[in-house]
Structure 1
Amino acid sequence: MPGTTGGRSLLEKHSIDVVPAEERHGRPWHQFTLWFGANLQITAVVDGALAVVFGADALWAIIGLLIGNIAGGVVMALHSAQGPRLGLPQMISSRAQFGVYGAVIPLVLAILMYLGFASTGAVLAGQAVNVITGWQNQALGIVVFGVLTAAVATMGYRYIHVLGRIATIAGLLGFGYLTFRLFAQYDVGALLGAKAFAPASFLTAIALAAGWQLTYGPYVADYSRYLPAQTPQHKTFWATFGGSVLGSQWSMSLGALLAALPLAADAGFLGNQVGFLGQLGGPGAFTVFIALVVLIGKLTVNTLNAYGGFMSLLTTVSAFTGRSRIRQAVRVLYICGFLLLSVLIAVGASADFLGNFKSLVLLLLMVFIPWSAINLVDYYLISKERVDIPALYDVNGRYGKWNRAALLSYAAGVLVQIPFLAQTLYTGPFAAALGSADISWLVGLVVSAAIYYPWAKRLVSRRTDEHAQRSQ
């Protein structure tokens, strides 16, 4: 029966195959706790701090972050609402737009995204492990964190949601306490309005938050696909949107305030993020408690990255093998191989964490905005939520190997953003004219959707006419 578990086992049975109706389970509010817990964590705090680091006043940074979280959260939650209807991971449904082989292009970029977030997250999690254990070797903390992530990701969907609920409780306690301590120890009001409004840094704050939300798009439906197919779409949407936006905004606002503290640039938050939060929490057991909260939050989101990375790797390989199911031993190897690579990257790339993280978020935003626009336009406006699931696994099916309309619209959506980019290594001419404000994400969203929609609509009309002629 729908809603039943279909028998419990330690390891999840399904991967990129369709989840059968009799194995669907869960409730929409589970999406809220998963995404709230995954976003109430220290990397989101760092993301909010970046808005102040790169020039925004704390007040305007918080407002900009809210705008970005809402705008990106809408797109992200629209992807999540696809999960119960299709019963599939997010990226395999991209074959309906890009073709079975064509979908490999955004898939490879998705794998790079998961690696980037898993690696940067492991740096902060390694700090938390060391605070809890008293170790001095950061590499050892990163490795231990990688092992914990592998354990949960291997067990799969059900346990990831359990971890999300644990992270929600831990986050409410830990971040509630940290917020109280911040207001008790510092004159927070003096941090607001200390600088004049700067349009460029305000737009950067919006881009940072929007990028944070939008980069969840390629895997958010992975964690709603077990919900019963009859689950109302609006409930899935609002549960995901609410959890992700509320969790992110709280974390990012805290980060913006911490970065605005006078001591932040010296021996404060920006120099040692986990250590400073521990000091803010208080001595002894309070420091360890905050480090544990940090660890649980990072474990939740990094498990999502590992699970999504595994799904993307398998989806890429299956495009050429035609297989949709794999043995559990192979599943474990995929996950462990992905995490091993992320740990190696984390150990070797922790020096310029803040600068690299800003570049990563904005760069990934550049390549995933066009993908999101095409996927959502096709699913909600062109195909009207109808997907030929068997054809997703067949290169000779209706979706074919390559879809020129989607691929060229995607390429145009990426290329048109280049003049609007404001990156560490490159600032486009239009971005420079705007004072190094990065609005490339908005340009890419509009252009890719504007190109793809009429093109795809015309193709659908042509196929309909041809079918009608053959039927006469």
Structure 2
Amino acid sequence: MQVEETGSAAVLERVPAHLRTTRVDRVFWSHFSPNLAPAAWVIGVLVVVLGLPGWTGFAVLLIGNLLGSLPVALCAVMGPETGLPQMEASRFSFGRIGKRLPSLINWANCVGWDAVNNVPSALAFILLLKMVGLAVPFWLALGILAFAQLLASMGGHDIVQAIEKYLGWVLLVSFAIVGVIAVFQSSGQGGAASSAAPHFADIMIGIGAVSSFNMAWAAYASDYTRYVPPGTPSSRVFWLTFGGTFLSSFIMELFGLLTGAAISDPSPGSLIAALQNWSGVFAPVALAAVAFSSIAINAANDNTAAYALISGGVHVNRMLSAVVTAGMGYLLAVLGEGTFVSLYENYLLLALYWIAPWCGIVLADWYCRPASLKSLRMQTLSGWTSSATSFVVVTVLTIGLFSSTPLYTGPVAAMLGGADVGYLVGFFLAALGQIALLNMRGRRVSVVRFQDA
């Protein structure tokens, strides 16, 4: 394993050919292991709380994970060709200045995910230490985990991807044992299933929460494929990424769906208490899996945040950037410990409002270019582009018109009974807008070439 370069050039410039030595199997583990986390289990519980148990809940998980995993896999394909981190590759459509805004938003997103992932892990770590006679406060347990994550992320992509592979096997076996036990132990403990038909609004909120959990990784995708040799088949990168993202989140969320009726509320405390109770002699395994899962997810999270901050125009040392991210995530987790459920549910939905339009623009720019612009696909545009303006406009419009949260409900969402379809509208509106911009640019290029000829 090698420590990645710490200067900003490692983010702003393409990876040299001699450094593209990452084995392609690491692509699977880089997108599989981070989702083996209690946060995914809680999503399954949230689906039950929304009144969507049984086959309806299963369909919500299936649709949400498909919608969320596809953009991640499509973005990951860009890595071997561009040799750039995902947010830096945004410069091809957003421009050198324009890509700074989504990069900074993504950095803030990473800080939030740090907190979301660390709260349940710290609670489980406290209980695990208590079983061996050690009593530690929340802030100390959280600090130990955050420090371990920071050390891993400071090493860069190679160390992070090695951790994902080897810790991933441990987490997979641990959660498989705990999950099967939990499903059997919780069977029959929940209340009677409601016979009422599920509300459309609840279905859309459920799909939004599920898809958001995966789609957030689209902003990270090529961070962990750019060191793959450039001749690697795109189809292999796509399916390894899609399989890793979809399978891990679907399995964990399915455990949450099957046990959700027996858990008092979708909070980390209730989930961990239930797992500890159901696991019996395997309780230490359950607690250790929850505690150490945050290392897998936040090591990647902090590393990506370091890239994003540099792409956002803050050209600091990559290791210092990781320290700042981990430190702010730690503070947010300490402050938000008691309001985890509301923060988590709102955070999942709010994250979609920016990630969906960004995905629409980036993917349309990469995959839908007219023939006259194919050769210019990796041309870095200067300044702030029309695509960057489109991103801002679409994001603001979808929040203002379609958002449905306890903080604010847009007029269209209110007309739909509270259903949140803003992420779907945002994605397709931004993508269609980008295609229109590309076609106009393509016609101008064709005219110039014709006149020069």
**Fold shared, TM-score > 0.5 on shorter chain:** yes
- Determine the C-alpha separation between the residues in 2 that align with 1:80 and 1:296: 26
1:170 aligns with 2:166: no
Q: Using the alignment, how far apart are the partners of 1:467 and 1:287 within structure 2?
A: 69
State the Cα distance separating 1:335 from its structure 2 match: 1.0
Q: Is the CA contact (8 Å cut-off) linking 2:168 and 2:296 kept in structure 1? A: no
Structure 1 position 408, deviation (Å): 2.4
1:455 aligned partner, one-letter code = L
- The answer to whether 1:368 aligns with 2:369 is no
How far is 1:138 from its partner?
0.8
Mapped pair 1:355 → 2:348:
no
Residues 1:38 and 2:1 aligned together: no
Structure 2 counterpart SS, 1:217: helix
Counterparts of 1:228 and 1:374 in 2: how far apart (Å)?
26
Partner-residue secondary structure (3-state), 2:170: helix
Residue 307 of structure 2 corresponds to: 311
Q: Which residue of 1 aligns with 2:332?
A: 345
The one of 275, 278, 286 equivalent to 1:277 is 275
The verdict on how the C-alpha distance between 1:467 and 1:161 changes in structure 2, with shifts beyond 3 A counting, is same
2:5, 2:105 → 1: CA distance?
26
Structure 1 pair 197–433 and aligned structure 2 pair: CA distance change class (3 A): same
Q: Shift of the alpha carbon at 1:30?
A: 1.8
Summarize deviations over 1:272-311 as a string: whole Å, max 9, x none: 333332222224xx22222221233221111121111100
Name the CA distance, whole Å, in 1 between partners of 2:410 and 2:438. 30
CA distance in 2, matches of 1:144, 1:136: 11
Q: Does 1:435 align with 2:414?
A: no
- Which runs of no fewer than 5 residues in structure 1 stay unpaired? 1-7, 393-398
Q: Counterparts of 1:413-424 in structure 2 under 5 Å?
A: 413-424=395-406
Q: Secondary structure at the match of 2:420?
A: coil
Give the stretch that moved more between structures: 185-194 or 37-46.
Answer: 185-194
| Cα distance between partner residues in 2 of 1:93 and 1:146 | 29
Q: 447-456 or 242-251, which moves further after superposition?
A: 447-456
Q: In the alignment, residue 276 of structure 1 is paired with which amino acid?
A: A
Residues 1:203 and 2:207 aligned together: no
Distance 1:129 1:313, change over 3 A: same
Paired residues of 2:276 and 2:286 also in contact (CA < 8 A): yes
- Aligned residue type for 2:17: A
Q: 1:105, CA displacement in angstroms?
A: 1.3
- 1-side partners of 2:360 and 2:318: how far apart? 31
Could you list the per-position Cα deviations for residues 3-61 of structure 1 after superposition, in whole angstroms to 9, with x for gaps in the alignment? Answer: xxxxx534556334211111112333322222221112111111222222233224322
User: Once the two structures are superposed, what CA deviation does each residue of 1:332-351 show, in whole Å capped at 9, x if it has no partner?
Assistant: 22111111111111111111
Deviations 1:355-398 (A, max 9, x none): 11111111110111111000000011117765676x64xxxxxx
Going from structure 1 to structure 2, the CA distance change for 1:58 and 1:86 (only over 3 Å counts) comes to same
Deviation per residue, 1:87-126 (Å, 9 max, x gap): 1100011111111111111112111111110111111121
Aligned to 1:445: 427
TM, length-normalised to structure 2: 0.91
Any conservation in 2 of the 1:258–1:269 contact (CA below 8 Å)? no
Where in structure 2 are the equivalents of 1:80-159 lying within 5 Å? Answer: 80-134=76-130, 135-159=135-159
Q: 1:55 to 1:436 in 2, by over 3 A?
A: farther
CA contact (8 A) 2:114 2:329 kept: yes
* Matched position secondary structure for 1:228: coil
Distance 2:192 2:106 in 1: 37
> What CA distance in whole angstroms lies between the structure 2 residues aligned with 1:115 and 1:44?
18
Counterparts of 1:259 and 1:170, CA distance in 2: 24
Q: Secondary structure at the match of 2:313?
A: helix
Change (3 A) 1:435 1:196: same
SS in 2 for 1:166: helix
CA distance in 1, matches of 2:46, 2:400: 22
The one-letter code of the counterpart of 2:253 is M
Report the residue type matching 1:356 in the other structure: L
| Equivalent in the alignment of 1:249 | 250
Per mean C-alpha deviation after superposition, the further-off stretch among 199-208 and 348-357 is: 199-208
Counterparts of 1:124 and 1:365, CA distance in 2: 22
Distance 2:301 2:328 in 1: 13
Please give the alpha-carbon distance, in whole angstroms, between the structure 1 residues aligned to 2:362 and 2:240. 21
Query: Could you tell me the TM-score, scaled by structure 1's length?
Result: 0.88
Q: Aligned runs of 1:324-335 on 2, under 5 Å?
A: 330-335=317-322
Aligned to 1:4: none
1:463 Cα shift? 2.6
Quick one: structure 1 residues 44 and 183, their matched pair in 2 at CA, closer, same or farther if it must change by over 3 Å? Answer: closer
Q: Is the 8 A contact 1:58 1:192 kept in 2?
A: no
SS in 1 for 2:337: coil
Matched residues in 2 for 1:205 and 1:167: separation?
Answer: 30
Contact 1:57 1:195 in 2 (8 A): no
> What amino acid sits opposite 2:279 in the alignment?
G
What is the distance in 2 between the residues matched to 1:116 and 1:429?
Answer: 28
CA deviation after TM superposition for structure 1 residue 270, in Å: 5.8
Unpaired runs of 5+ in structure 2? none
Alpha carbons of structure 1 residues 313 and 184: separation in structure 2 relative to 1, 3 Å: same
Would you say 1:461 and 2:431 are equivalent positions? no
Q: Give 1:191 shift.
A: 7.4
Aligned equivalents of 1:405 and 1:145: distance in 2? 39
Q: How many residue pairs end up in the alignment?
A: 443
The answer as to whether partners of 1:154 and 1:331 remain within 8 angstroms in 2 is yes
Q: Distance in 1 between matches of 2:191 and 2:5?
A: 48
Cα contact 2:187–2:259 (8 A) shared by 1: no
Q: Which moved more, 1:366-375 or 1:38-47?
A: 38-47
Q: Name the counterpart of 2:72.
A: 76
* Cα displacement (A) at 1:317: 2.1
Higher helix share: 2
Amino acid aligned to 1:380: Y
Contact 1:59 1:193 in 2 (8 A): no
In structure 2, the residue corresponding to 1:18 is in which secondary structure?
Answer: coil
Between the aligned partners of 1:382 and 1:181, the Cα distance in structure 2 is 50
Contact 2:80–2:227 (8 Å) recurs in 1: yes
